[in-house]
């Protein structure tokens, strides 16, 4: 099972069923409830690794599973 996180129709991160779902939920703030911690995660983890503020999508085996938004 190939999972991908995409932005602007480009694959930013992918794996074969590992932690992609957890990372996606971190990016859209579902796993990180504290706003300060969420901003730190975006600033120090997501942005340096190729993500940017805006729409983000989770795909599994070529099918769109979930959409969300990265904010600051």
Parse the chain into domains and list their residue ranges. Answer: 3-70
Residue 61 is predicted with a pLDDT of 93
Residue 4 in this model has a pLDDT that exceeds 90: yes
The string over 9-21, giving b where at least 16 C-beta atoms fall within 10 Å of a residue's C-beta and e elsewhere, is eeebbeeeeeebb
Residue 36 is predicted with a pLDDT of 97
If you average pLDDT over residues 2-17, what whole number do you get? 94
The residue among 50, 58, 54, 48 whose CA lies nearest residue 70 is: 54
Q: What is the pTM of this model?
A: 0.91
Query: pLDDT-based confidence at 18, cuts 50/70/90?
Result: confident
If you average pLDDT over residues 50-61, what whole number do you get? 96
If you average pLDDT over residues 25-31, what whole number do you get? 96
């Amino acid at each position: 099972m190939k999972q991908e996180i995409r932005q602007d129709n480009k694959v930013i991160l992918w794996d074969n069923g590992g932690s992609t779902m957890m990372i996606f939920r971190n990016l859209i703030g579902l796993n990180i409830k504290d706003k300060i911690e969420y901003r730190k995660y975006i600033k120090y983890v997501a942005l340096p690794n190729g993500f940017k503020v805006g729409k983000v999508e989770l795909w599994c085996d070529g099918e769109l599973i979930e959409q969300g938004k990265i904010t600051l």
